[in-house]
Structure 1
Amino acid sequence: MTSSTTTTAPGEAFDRTVNTVGTLQDTLVGMAEGFIATLPNLAIGVVVLIITWLVAKFAVRIADRITGKTDIRPSLKNLIDTLVKLGIWLVGLMAALVVMMPGFTPASVIAGLGIGAVAIGFAFQDIFENFLAGVLIMLREKMRIGDVIECEGISGKVEHITLRETYVRKLSGEVTLVPNSMLFKNPVQILTDETQRRHEIMAGVSYDTDLDHAAKVIRSSVESCEAVDTDKGIDIFANEFGDSSVNFKVRWWSGSKPRDMWESTDQVVRAIKRGLDDAGIEIPFPYITHTFKERVPMGNEPGEPSTGS
């Protein structure tokens, strides 16, 4: 049995090495030539992007000037500015891509979006949901910037509305970034939808008081407060039999802002206390009566030893 070995001549190995180097060199030269050939297109694409930026900036100024002459809400004004800027940038980016890549067409973009729409929708579901919720929040009439709202335990003043989130400034100063979908899907209580709203407190008088007289005293006391809008009426209702008092529910109209509520409540409580004191009507403390099954000795009773010294 014979074995044969194949040997490569030094000349053949050298030729292969030279061919590999030559191929790599040709590839690099081709890439460089291609890059140089595309430089004009890249430069034109950059120019298109710069023009797009300038046009978008100028268009937003025009939109601001047009909307500034109307009574449009600030949130809707922000939406118009965003849509104008977004539309111009989409057109500009598409034009730049067509210039830089001649084989690129708007039809291919649409086809690509159609193929990946489902995957993108699942991947960015929360982002799209907040985006659409932000658009709808800006379009609806209620909940303007500056309103005080309450939603899902969050309360404060609406400071800014974007396409993804709403900035709610707490009355204590902190800001909460609330996803728009939360404000759109859940009930939102707008405390400052009107300039005034109704406030109420409970005021109690002793059981031996003439309730008609007490109601007149409370009404006149509330009417004397500057923060109370007497034109909208004041309600004084005998509401319940409490543990130590008959309680009146006192309702009045004042400013809708939280500060207005606290100021008017302060004035009303002070005025009622002063009025009832002047009329000699008791505002009773809570009384507690203890009942014992057996007689409890009080002090030194007959038959008991004296505790004196």
Structure 2
Amino acid sequence: MENIEGLMAQAPEFIVTYGLKVVMAIVIFIIGKYLSNVAKKLTTKVMVGRKIDETVASFVGNLVWGLVFVFTIIATLGQIGVQTASLVAVIGAAGLAVGLALQGSLSNFAAGVLMVIFRPCRVGDFVEAAGVAGVIEEITIFSTKLRTGDNKTIIAPNSAMMDGTITNYSTKETRRVDLVIGVGYTSDIAATKKVISSVLDNNQYVLKDPAYTVALGELADCSINFVVRPWVNTADYWPAHFELLEQIKNALDAANIEIPFPQMDLQIKNMPAQ
């Protein structure tokens, strides 16, 4: 009974002492989390204001957020009585095991660092990598966020982005539109080239320099195929592609130049008498 009475007598002091520590720990965590977000936004804003590439600014901002948040966790645990020095030692001792368990995450982190250093692609670039294609919206510590043409979001691991081939369609100011136009074997080659060239000369997207190419590319099974290769600004690639196909089709029809379709001629020999 005396032990119970002693504990009851110490209970208020215990609650006040450790209750305040818990409350302070919660306050430290909330403030630290808020400061980590502020540090991220401030870092990104300052770097963008200094004309630093948006990809680098976003990556460094995420890294700053992670560092501040880890410090917040350590401070929170220290407030409630956890020996942070021992905690750091334990973390260091367990580092190897954690590293082996998180090989994928560490490789993604390393790949993210390489992407920032070598910058094979940047925020806003349209790329094809890791089996997907889209516009890069953000490069984080572990992954890259892309937006597809039909407005879907794809999260690709950084290691997958860096381990394969990256096709970046946005690094050059101009792109070549590659079209194959087939006409019938009875069509006049010179007249066909003249009609197609006229379309290219009058198209709003086709550039004068570099010059376009219109040439006979193949004598196919059912058609004479012309390669049509005009140059356009990168941003105009798809509008030019669709418009040129339509205009070339209309121009060939107007010139009575046949665009063939697959067909088979059947010849019957030695047909028996009725």
Aligned to 2:237: 261
Question: Given the alignment, which residue of 239, 244, 249 partners 1:273?
Answer: 249
Q: Distance in 2 between matches of 1:137 and 1:29?
A: 62
Deviation at 1:112, TM superposition (A): 1.2
| SS of the residue 2:136 aligns to | strand
Greater mean deviation of Cα atoms: 244-253 or 126-135: 126-135
Q: Does 1:162 align with 2:132?
A: no
Structure 1 pair 166/25, CA: closer, same or farther in 2 (3 Å)? farther
Q: Could you say if the C-alpha distance between residues 263 and 58 of structure 1 is closer, same or farther in structure 2, counting changes exceeding 3 Å?
A: closer
Shift of 1:161: 3.0
Q: Runs of 5+ in structure 1 lacking a partner? A: 1-20, 305-309
* CA distance in 2 between partners of 1:158 and 1:135 (Å): 16
How far apart, CA to CA, are the structure 1 residues paired with 2:11 and 2:109?
42
Per-residue deviation, 1:164: 2.9
Range that drifts further, 201-210 or 30-39? 30-39
Tell me which residue corresponds to 2:258.
Answer: 282
Work out which of the residue numbers 109, 118, 123 in structure 2 matches 1:131: 109
Contact 1:222 1:271 in 2 (8 A): no
> Retained in 2: the 8 A contact 1:198–1:253?
yes
Structure 2 residues not aligned, in runs of 5+: none
Contact 1:243 1:287 in 2 (8 A): no
Measured against aligned partners, the alpha-carbon deviations of 1:230-289 in whole angstroms (never above 9, x if no partner) come to: 2221111211111122211111122435xx433212322233234334444333343423
1:84 maps to: 64
> Counterpart of 2:167?
189
Name the CA shift for 1:264/1:47 in 2 (closer, same or farther; >3 Å): closer
CA shift, 1:178, in A, is: 2.1
TM-score normalized with structure 1 length: 0.73
* Matched-pair contact (CA < 8 Å) for 2:63–2:141: no
Deviation at 1:48, TM superposition (A): 4.4
Taking structure 2 as the reference length, what is the TM-score of the superposition?
A: 0.81
Matches within 5 A, 1:52-71: 52-53=32-33, 55-71=35-51
Residues 281 and 96 of structure 1: CA distance in aligned 2, closer, same or farther (over 3 Å): closer
1:295 to 2:270 alignment:
yes
Give a deviation string over 1:157-201, Cα, whole Å, max 9, x none: 223333233332222232222222221212122223334311111
Aligned mates of 2:69, 2:216 — CA distance in 1: 65
2:93 to 105, 108, 115: 115
AA matched with 1:177: I
2:128 touches 2:166 (CA, 8 Å); kept in 1? yes
Identity of aligned residues (%): 26
Q: What's the RMSD between the two structures over aligned residues?
A: 3.2
CA contact (8 A) 2:58 2:138 kept: no
CA distance in structure 1 between the aligned counterparts of 2:193 and 2:116, rounded to whole angstroms: 47
In our comparison, the structure showing a higher alpha carbon Rg is: 1
Q: Secondary structure at the match of 1:230?
A: coil
Match of 1:7 in 2: none
Say how many residue pairs are matched: 274
Would you say the 8 A contact 1:234–1:251 is kept in 2? yes
SS at match of 2:177: strand
Q: Contact 2:125 / 2:169 at 8 angstroms: preserved in 1?
A: yes
Choose which of 205, 214, 230 in structure 2 pairs with 1:236: 214
Give the counterpart letter for 2:234 in structure 1: S
Q: How far has the Cα of 1:47 moved from its partner?
A: 5.3
Q: Which amino acid aligns with 2:162?
A: F
State how far apart, in whole Å, the 2-side matches of 1:55 and 1:286 are.
68
Q: Secondary structure at the match of 2:100?
A: helix
Contact 1:206 1:245 in 2 (8 A): yes
